[in-house]
A = this chain, B = another copy of it.
Amino acid sequence: MTTSNEEAMAQLLRHRASIDNLDAVLLHTLAERFKQTQAVGALKAAHNLPPSDPAREERQIARLRTLAEDAGLDPDFAEKFINFIIQEVIKHHQAARG
Protein backbone atom coordinates (compact mmCIF):
# COMPACT_ATOMS: atom_id res chain seq x y z
CA MET A 1 0.00 0.00 0.00
CA THR A 2 1.60 3.25 -1.11
CA THR A 3 0.42 6.76 -0.46
CA SER A 4 0.95 9.71 -2.79
CA ASN A 5 2.85 12.68 -1.45
CA GLU A 6 -0.35 14.71 -1.62
CA GLU A 7 -2.21 12.16 0.49
CA ALA A 8 0.77 11.96 2.88
CA MET A 9 0.63 15.72 3.37
CA ALA A 10 -3.15 15.56 4.03
CA GLN A 11 -2.54 12.81 6.60
CA LEU A 12 0.21 14.85 8.22
CA LEU A 13 -2.16 17.81 8.61
CA ARG A 14 -4.82 15.56 10.16
CA HIS A 15 -2.31 14.23 12.70
CA ARG A 16 -1.15 17.75 13.50
CA ALA A 17 -4.75 18.88 14.09
CA SER A 18 -5.17 15.98 16.55
CA ILE A 19 -1.88 16.86 18.27
CA ASP A 20 -3.07 20.46 18.65
CA ASN A 21 -6.36 19.25 20.17
CA LEU A 22 -4.52 16.93 22.56
CA ASP A 23 -2.14 19.74 23.58
CA ALA A 24 -5.15 21.90 24.48
CA VAL A 25 -6.47 19.01 26.62
CA LEU A 26 -3.06 18.68 28.32
CA LEU A 27 -2.80 22.39 29.00
CA HIS A 28 -6.29 22.78 30.43
CA THR A 29 -5.89 19.63 32.53
CA LEU A 30 -2.62 21.01 33.88
CA ALA A 31 -4.35 24.33 34.69
CA GLU A 32 -7.01 22.43 36.66
CA ARG A 33 -4.34 20.28 38.37
CA PHE A 34 -2.49 23.42 39.54
CA LYS A 35 -5.77 24.81 40.89
CA GLN A 36 -6.10 21.66 43.00
CA THR A 37 -2.49 21.74 44.24
CA GLN A 38 -2.85 25.43 45.05
CA ALA A 39 -5.89 24.59 47.21
CA VAL A 40 -3.89 21.79 48.86
CA GLY A 41 -1.05 24.23 49.59
CA ALA A 42 -3.43 26.75 51.17
CA LEU A 43 -5.09 24.02 53.24
CA LYS A 44 -1.76 22.67 54.47
CA ALA A 45 -0.54 26.17 55.38
CA ALA A 46 -3.77 26.97 57.27
CA HIS A 47 -3.65 23.73 59.25
CA ASN A 48 0.10 23.46 59.78
CA LEU A 49 0.27 20.23 57.82
CA PRO A 50 3.72 19.31 56.44
CA PRO A 51 4.19 20.77 52.91
CA SER A 52 5.47 17.54 51.40
CA ASP A 53 4.30 13.96 51.90
CA PRO A 54 6.91 11.50 50.58
CA ALA A 55 4.64 8.46 51.11
CA ARG A 56 1.88 10.07 49.03
CA GLU A 57 4.39 10.93 46.28
CA GLU A 58 5.67 7.36 46.24
CA ARG A 59 2.12 6.04 45.83
CA GLN A 60 1.44 8.56 43.03
CA ILE A 61 4.55 7.51 41.11
CA ALA A 62 3.81 3.78 41.50
CA ARG A 63 0.21 4.32 40.32
CA LEU A 64 1.28 6.39 37.31
CA ARG A 65 3.87 3.79 36.29
CA THR A 66 1.10 1.15 36.27
CA LEU A 67 -1.30 3.41 34.35
CA ALA A 68 1.49 4.14 31.85
CA GLU A 69 2.14 0.46 31.22
CA ASP A 70 -1.56 -0.17 30.61
CA ALA A 71 -1.67 2.80 28.18
CA GLY A 72 1.41 1.68 26.23
CA LEU A 73 3.53 4.52 27.59
CA ASP A 74 7.10 4.16 28.91
CA PRO A 75 6.78 3.99 32.75
CA ASP A 76 10.15 5.77 33.10
CA PHE A 77 8.77 8.63 31.03
CA ALA A 78 5.63 8.72 33.22
CA GLU A 79 7.83 9.01 36.31
CA LYS A 80 9.95 11.74 34.69
CA PHE A 81 6.71 13.52 33.73
CA ILE A 82 5.18 13.48 37.22
CA ASN A 83 8.48 14.65 38.73
CA PHE A 84 8.52 17.52 36.21
CA ILE A 85 5.01 18.54 37.37
CA ILE A 86 5.84 18.11 41.08
CA GLN A 87 8.87 20.41 40.67
CA GLU A 88 6.53 23.09 39.30
CA VAL A 89 4.10 22.57 42.19
CA ILE A 90 6.96 23.04 44.67
CA LYS A 91 7.92 26.26 42.86
CA HIS A 92 4.31 27.49 43.17
CA HIS A 93 4.21 26.68 46.89
CA GLN A 94 7.51 28.45 47.50
CA ALA A 95 6.23 31.52 45.60
CA ALA A 96 2.97 31.46 47.61
CA ARG A 97 4.91 31.41 50.88
CA GLY A 98 6.69 34.57 49.72
Contact = CB atoms under 8 A, between A and B. Distances in A.
A32 B23 contact: no
Copies in the complex: 2
Given A27-B71, A27-B78, A3 B46 contact: yes
A46 B29 CA distance: 34
A73 interface: yes
A10 to B, nearest CB: 10
Nearest to A2: B46
A19 B36 contact: yes
Contacts of A67: 23-24, 27-28
B26 A29 contact: yes
A22 interface: yes
